[in-house]
Amino acid sequence: MGVYILDFYCPVARLAVEVDGATHDDPDQIAHDARGTAWLKAQGIEVLRIRATDVRDHLEGG
């Protein structure tokens, strides 16, 4: 979307889902993610960020 690569995007819901791994803990990456989220929100797209470890450890929803 724009210059950003999204993990998942639903155009009907205008929802982006980003699954963030450990590299997203780096201060430069945090700033980059914040800029991307702000840009997407300005386009009317909601962004949901989920930790990759949460996906891995709670795949069954528990």
Q: What is the mean pLDDT of each run of 10 residues along the chain (62 residues)?
A: 90 96 84 93 96 86 64
Rounded-to-integer distance, Cα 44 and Cα 8, Å: 16
How many Cα atoms are found within 13 Å in the side-chain-facing hemisphere of 44?
4
Residues 6+ apart with CB under 8 A from 57: none
Looking at the whole model, is its pTM more than 0.85? no
Rounded-to-integer distance, Cα 9 and Cα 1, Å: 9
* Structure confidence by residue, pLDDT tens digits, 19-32: 988 787 788 989 99
